[in-house]
């Protein structure tokens, strides 16, 4: 039993050494406000369909060593617009579409499968995640409240569902709208444990090496 426990501990240390990293070099995003699930917005106005080829969700976790960013692609999505205001919408994230940006074999062959495993996203059980808008309002920067997103003009709130857990997340965004095209960009930080995305049962090793904060970048493009 002692030999097996020691072996498990070594495995956790090895995985932790290549996974989610560097507090000092971590990207910084707006601090998202996370609350309990809220009622979603009624769909009104014109429908813009998300371009799944041009849209993505980028994340960066960090803990010890290096940053390892990755991207998820969307499987579908729609946004509703009335006048010049986004009134609602929803998009679905394909969790199995995960692409790690670094081509290092350890990242591609060890880190990526581990992130998709039960220790993190459990993509075999929860193949999709979703974000559904509850409200969109104006955003105004001031000396004490300036978004990391250049020219942010909106505050977006919506229900983020990961691993069948739903929390409402609010963050600044830049929304650009023309007659036939909508673009939206956001950059914010969340605590992964709010969605029970944790690493391992040995708390003296697993999560000790990995920051609970994950940086999330949203890049959406949609057209009529």
Annotate 143-191 with DSSP letters as a single string: TTB--SSTT--EEEEEEEEETTEEEEEEEEEEEEE-SSEEEEEEEEEEE
The mean pLDDT value for 198-213 works out to 62
13 vs 143, residue with greater confidence: 143
- For residue 63, the model assigns a pLDDT of 62
* Digit-coded pLDDT (tens) for 130-155: 999 999 999 988 878 899 999 999 99
Q: What is the pTM of this model?
A: 0.85
Domains, the chain, in order of start with CATH, read 2-223 (2.40.128.110)
The mean pLDDT value for 90-97 works out to 98
13 vs 166, residue with greater confidence: 166
Query: Which stretch of 27-31, 46-50, 182-186 has the lowest confidence by average pLDDT?
Result: 27-31
**Short-list 33, 47, 58, 29, CA closest to 219:** 58
Output DSSP code: residue 19: S
Confidence at 101, pLDDT banded by 50, 70, 90: very high
What share of the chain in percent tops pLDDT 90? 68
């Amino acid at each position: 039993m002692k030999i097996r426990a020691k072996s498990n501990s070594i495995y956790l240390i090895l995985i932790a050494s290549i996974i989610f990293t560097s507090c000092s070099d971590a990207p910084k995003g707006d601090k998202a406000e996370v609350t309990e699930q809220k009622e979603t917005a009624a769909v009104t106005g014109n429908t813009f369909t998300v371009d799944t080829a041009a849209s993505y969700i980028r994340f960066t976790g960090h803990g010890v060593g290096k940053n390892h960013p990755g991207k998820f692609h969307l499987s579908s999505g729609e946004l509703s617009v009335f006048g010049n205001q986004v009134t609602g919408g929803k998009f679905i994230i394909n969790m199995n579409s995960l692409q790690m940006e670094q081509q290092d074999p350890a990242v591609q062959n060890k880190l990526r499968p581990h992130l998709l495993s039960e220790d993190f996203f459990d993509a075999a059980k929860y193949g999709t995640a979703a974000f559904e808008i509850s409200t969109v309002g104006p955003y105004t920067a001031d000396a004490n409240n300036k978004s990391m997103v250049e020219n942010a003009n909106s505050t977006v709130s919506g229900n983020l569902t990961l691993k069948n857990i739903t929390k409402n997340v609010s963050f600044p965004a830049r929304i650009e709208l023309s007659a036939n095209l909508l673009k939206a960009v956001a950059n914010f930080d969340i605590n992964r444990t709010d969605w029970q995305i944790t690493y391992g049962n040995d708390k003296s090793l697993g999560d000790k090496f990995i920051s609970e904060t994950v940086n999330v970048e949203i890049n959406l493009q949609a057209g009529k």
